[in-house]
Structure 1
Amino acid sequence: MRTVRIRTFTLFSLFLILTIPWLFYVAAHFTVTGTLNLEQRSPGERLIVPISAAVAGLVLAFVLVGGAMRRRLLQPLEQMSAAAREIAGGAWEQQLPLSRIKEIAEVRDSFHVMVKGLQASNQKQAELEAERRFVIAAVAHDLRTPLFALRGYLDGIEQGIANSPEKLEKYLAVCKEKSVQLDRLVEDLFTFTKIEYVEAELPCSRVDLQVILQTTIDSLLPLARQKQLSIMTDFAQGDAAVAGDAHLLERAIANLLDNAIRHTPAHGQIRVQCGKDGDNVTFAIRDAGPGFSAEDLQRAFEPLYRGEQSRNRSTGGAGLGLTIARKIVRRHGGELSIANDAAGGACLSGWIAACYGSN
């Protein structure tokens, strides 16, 4: 649709308002005198006829200009206002009116872009809310299993069923195991919620990813020793600093390492690597487990997904570990991926942009 600027429309309207009365005046004068010479008048001629014609022409000009303004300016603005109210009520598919005035057309186009952005944002928010509700419901369901078991064994201790030191030791060990499961589920839920609703910018500081990796390894060594696993490190020489939240990064690495420990058979080996590739700090955790199935490779990062090797809730957690780890890495501007290692087992690798400044 061809458009004109409002300045051009205004000038044209003024031209009509000035021209039409003049034309009517000249036409009336010609009708009365038979000539276009305005200085020549017939005997007894009065100015009442030309002036009346000029007034009629002025009225006609105002009617024409007013109608044009109504169609091209006021109606599109009124329709746009009504459409805005409909959109505010959730009618995202409401069509905005067209206009031949360029400025109004530009406002319409900008408004259309804004509506599309709001629609996409609203859709994303709805999906996040649905995902949040699903995760909370699923984790709440998973909390029941260790809670019921914990209460059952505590009742057994209270009622004297564990009437020997061996039974009492067994009951206490189970209670401790269930409390650890509860702690993991609650921590997963807290971290998942935190990274979903954390502020747009993370509280970043300069942290050494190698230090975070080593700290996480040290914290999980007792768990690895229970299965007699060895954790080998291969850290490149030099700086491996990144900008980020040290607590969240440690949580992400802990989830990856915990996943490797749970899926590596007894007496197996886990390899942890860290180095630099251009302007990125890279890391990888390789285990000696069965690796990922084809479905796992497609769905491993979905919230609450449990692969065939981790269906058991006693070892598989809530199915949020890899989801949380990837979200944390992505919040730091990096990426996390999974693959099956050529030598066997699974490989969880990722990268985060290196930090060269002092802060």
Structure 2
Amino acid sequence: MSIRKRLILSNIGMVIIPVFSVLILEIFLGYLLFIVFDGNPQGTEQNLFISLRFIGMLIILIVTNGLLTYFVSKSIIKPIRNLSNASRKISEGDLDFSVASSKKDELGELSNSFEKMRLDLKEAKAAQARYEENRKELIASISHDLKTPLTSIKGYVTGIQDGVANTPKKLERYMETIYNKANDMDGLIDELFLYSKLDLGHAPFKFEEIDLYTFFTDFIDESNFNMETGTAVFSADEDRSYTVKADRDQLKRVITNITQNSLKYMDKKHKQIHVQLTSESDRVVVKIEDNGSGISKDDLPFIFESFYRTDSSRNSSTGGSGLGLSIVRKIIDEHGGTIWADSQPGEGTSINFTLKKVT
């Protein structure tokens, strides 16, 4: 019951209850004084009757008003007190004080809204803690990733200076190694720089109309040419329209990050990537599926978060900054699309995203 109805009923009760109580009191006193004790209605018993009726009326009014006020105020003050305690505890950093209410009045709705806010704050705090932990791991990992090739480069340069590379073939191998290590460092720095620009909203986007059918046909041909042990497959209904408005370079970055991430975690002898397009009324759905090791249910909700890596170990085969899929999500967000993942451990993972269709 709403507070408004409760107050209205309380005010009505303060009138009706005393009236009926006084009537019952008068009947009872009249019966007691004039019938049971055979009093004289015109004598002293009448004055006693009037006095008792007046006193009884005052008592009824006081008790009725007091009880109704107490119960109504209790139903209002108690939830307010709980909300006050909860706000104090939240201000002190305690997010475990629940104020959920089963009541259907305004204070019940307020309590449930406050409870939702508390749960959102608790979830945000947990997400922030995960973010900070992943950020610390990222800093340590990037420091390692930058230091390792840098140390290697210094070693090879020292070898050249000391005359260890004393043949043209060995010198060429040293120089090629130095170049590859420097290229790896450059790629990591570029990824960090791109993430920073996307995070700050400073990354430029040049939107144009792109036919995704043609785009992915070229991409699959290029992928099959570059893949050493595996195949890339493309499927789509040729009769449907797949024209979207997107930034070609940023879209290529999205596909590259997704496929590179898929290839990195593939544990099958024959690697396979399957790209599927689905044309809907106002959007195109892109599905990129692999036959890799899959992602656990615990990790799946967080793979698009910044600095998150499902592989806690850091090695040459599965290393990475943990920014690849986070960059993908930011780019898709800038395009006004949505992105999500489905996975079965041991069978593979599919990354799905949508782009607005040009109609």
Same fold, judged at TM 0.5 (above): yes
Q: Which residue of 1 aligns with 2:256?
A: 254
Q: Deviations over 1:49-98 (max 9, x none)?
A: 65455444433333222321332221221122212322444433324376
Unaligned runs of 5+ in 2: 36-40
Q: Which residue of 1 aligns with 2:3?
A: 6
Indicate the larger mover: 89-98 or 136-145: 89-98
CA distance in 2 between counterparts of 1:151 and 1:220 reads: 34
Q: Does 1:145 align with 2:145?
A: no
Query: Given that residues 204 and 245 in structure 1 are in contact (C-alpha distance below 8 angstroms), is that contact kept between their aligned partners in structure 2?
Result: yes
Q: Which residue of 2 aligns with 1:297?
A: 294
CA distance in 1 between counterparts of 2:174 and 2:258 reads: 30
The one-letter amino acid of 1:120's match is E
Cα separation, partners in 2 of 1:100 and 1:167, compared to 1, 3 Å: closer
Deviation, 1:31, is 4.8
CA distance in 2 between counterparts of 1:12 and 1:338 reads: 57
Deviation, 1:45, is 4.2
Q: Deviations over 1:25-61 (max 9, x none)?
A: 984797599479xxx8757949776545544443333
Q: Deviations over 1:274-294 (max 9, x none)?
A: 6744434557699xxxx74xx
Candidates 222, 241, 244, aligned match of 1:242: 244
Cα separation, partners in 2 of 1:61 and 1:101, compared to 1, 3 Å: farther
* Number of aligned positions between the proteins: 326
Candidates 103, 106, 109, aligned match of 1:106: 109
Instruction: Note the 1:266-277 alignment, pairs <5 A.
Output: 276-277=277-278
Deviation, 1:142, is 2.0
Instruction: Note the 1:141-220 alignment, pairs <5 A.
Output: 141-157=144-160, 168-190=171-193, 197=199, 205=207, 206-209=209-212
Deviation, 1:145, is 0.7
Query: Given that residues 139 and 189 in structure 1 are in contact (C-alpha distance below 8 angstroms), is that contact kept between their aligned partners in structure 2?
Result: no
Cα separation, partners in 2 of 1:198 and 1:336, compared to 1, 3 Å: farther
TM-score by length of 2: 0.62
Q: Which residue of 2 aligns with 1:356?
A: 357
Query: Given that residues 281 and 352 in structure 1 are in contact (C-alpha distance below 8 angstroms), is that contact kept between their aligned partners in structure 2?
Result: yes
Q: Which residue of 2 aligns with 1:72?
A: 75
CA distance in 1 between counterparts of 2:294 and 2:67 reads: 69
The one-letter amino acid of 2:358's match is G
The one-letter amino acid of 2:2's match is R
Deviation, 1:178, is 1.0
Cα separation, partners in 2 of 1:175 and 1:122, compared to 1, 3 Å: same
Cα separation, partners in 2 of 1:157 and 1:246, compared to 1, 3 Å: same
The one-letter amino acid of 1:242's match is V
Candidates 81, 86, 92, aligned match of 1:83: 86
Instruction: Note the 1:218-237 alignment, pairs <5 A.
Output: 224=226
Q: Which residue of 1 aligns with 2:38?
A: none
CA distance in 2 between counterparts of 1:80 and 1:26 reads: 43
CA distance in 2 between counterparts of 1:27 and 1:285 reads: 84
CA distance in 1 between counterparts of 2:262 and 2:24 reads: 97
Deviation, 1:327, is 4.5
Q: Which residue of 2 aligns with 1:318?
A: 320
The one-letter amino acid of 1:66's match is T
The one-letter amino acid of 1:356's match is K
Candidates 8, 12, 16, aligned match of 1:15: 12
CA distance in 2 between counterparts of 1:128 and 1:252 reads: 22
Deviation, 1:181, is 0.8
CA distance in 1 between counterparts of 2:47 and 2:167 reads: 134
Q: Does 1:92 align with 2:89?
A: no
**Matched position secondary structure for 1:297:** coil
Cα separation, partners in 2 of 1:15 and 1:65, compared to 1, 3 Å: same
Query: Given that residues 185 and 317 in structure 1 are in contact (C-alpha distance below 8 angstroms), is that contact kept between their aligned partners in structure 2?
Result: no
TM-score by length of 1: 0.62
The one-letter amino acid of 1:175's match is I
Unaligned runs of 5+ in 1: 340-345
Deviation, 1:108, is 2.9
CA distance in 1 between counterparts of 2:120 and 2:78 reads: 25
Instruction: Note the 1:320-359 alignment, pairs <5 A.
Output: 320=322, 323=325, 327=329, 332-334=337-339, 352-353=353-354, 355-357=356-358
